[in-house]
Amino acid sequence: MDEIRPMRAEVGIIPNADGSALFASGKTVAIAAVYGPKQLHPANKRKPDRGIIRCEYNMLPFSVSDRARPGPSRRSKEISLVTESALSAVTDLSRFPGSVIDVQIMILQADAGTRCAGVNAAAMALAHAGIVMREMVSSIAIGKIDDKIVVDITKEEEDWTEGEGSTDIPFSITSNNEVTHLQLDGYIQTKRFKEAIDAAKNACSKILEIQSRALKGEIVDENKGGKKK
């Protein structure tokens, strides 16, 4: 119940972006592209003491079997905002006053955990773009399926209805074990929540290792082994 699905990670996949990355966990695949920092327009939105991260998260229409509706939705706007928060917490935005860093996240294929895969890809893309970050951030969805704590839940597990049902808890955790993003969909007892936090920290340390290897130039694919670019 503590295994992460096979991961894939690679940077530099979009040549025209300032930084880009792919992160996949099982059948969930996210790519992220970073553009900037650049001067923010309109001027009245500029912060005189820091820059901002502007994130856009989208699921491609054929990323799911029943075809996602194209264009922004309430869910995609919500995920864009929580991703901005998770990334802003580790990025040194004081270096870019009056500027914006645009982060575009596209989900190519979805089997739950899409916001977490998006955060992982976006953090790698920021680092690949040379944006100064205080720490790396990694993200994982922890589930409680009936009475069991499950790491990196799939869509089938997310939709579990038997017994106590399913609880979905996406975490984003820095390399210093600080939580920058936490959501809860469902119910969980306090003592079980502590188990979920410990499981998330352990899983994120494994994801951080994959992200670090990719940022050092390795094309990581746990299904095939890794290779250098």
Share of the chain above pLDDT 90, in %: 69
What does the pLDDT average to over 8-12? Answer: 97
DSSP letter (8 states) at residue 62: T
pLDDT digit string, tens, across residues 180-207:
989 988 888 888 899 999 999 999 999 9
Residue 107 · residue 59 · CB < 8 Å: yes
Can you tell me the distance from the alpha carbon of 194 to that of 198, in angstroms, rounded to the nearest whole number?
6
Can you tell me the distance from the alpha carbon of 130 to that of 12, in angstroms, rounded to the nearest whole number?
12
Query: Would you state the pLDDT for residue 162?
Result: 64
The full 3-state SS of 160-172, as one line of letters, equals: CCCCCCEEEEEEE
Can you tell me the distance from the alpha carbon of 62 to that of 133, in angstroms, rounded to the nearest whole number?
33
Residue given tokens 């205080």 in the structure block: 134
pLDDT digit string, tens, across residues 142-166:
988 878 899 998 887 776 656 566 7
Residue 32 pLDDT more than 80?
yes
Tokens for 113, please give them: 């955990």
- At residue 19, the 3 state secondary structure works out as strand
Query: CATH 3.30.230.70: does it fit domain 7-217?
Result: yes
Query: Would you state the pLDDT for residue 92?
Result: 95
pLDDT digit string, tens, across residues 176-187:
999 998 998 888
Can you tell me the distance from the alpha carbon of 55 to that of 44, in angstroms, rounded to the nearest whole number?
19
Tokens for 179, please give them: 């939580």
Query: Would you state the pLDDT for residue 96?
Result: 93
- At residue 44, the 3 state secondary structure works out as helix
Enumerate the domain spans of the chain: 7-217
pLDDT digit string, tens, across residues 160-173:
656 566 788 999 99
Taking each continuous run of H as one helix and of E as one strand, the counts in the chain are 4, 11
Strand order in the sheet with 52-59: 52-59, 99-109, 28-39, 19-25, 7-11, 218-221, 227-228
Query: Would you state the pLDDT for residue 228?
Result: 45
What does the pLDDT average to over 209-228? Answer: 86
Residue given tokens 């299904």 in the structure block: 223
Instruction: Using pLDDT thresholds of 50, 70 and 90, give the confidence band for residue 34.
Output: very high
pLDDT digit string, tens, across residues 64-123:
655 555 556 788 899 999 999 999 999 999 999 999 999 999 999 999 899 999 999 999
Tokens for 50, please give them: 């820091």
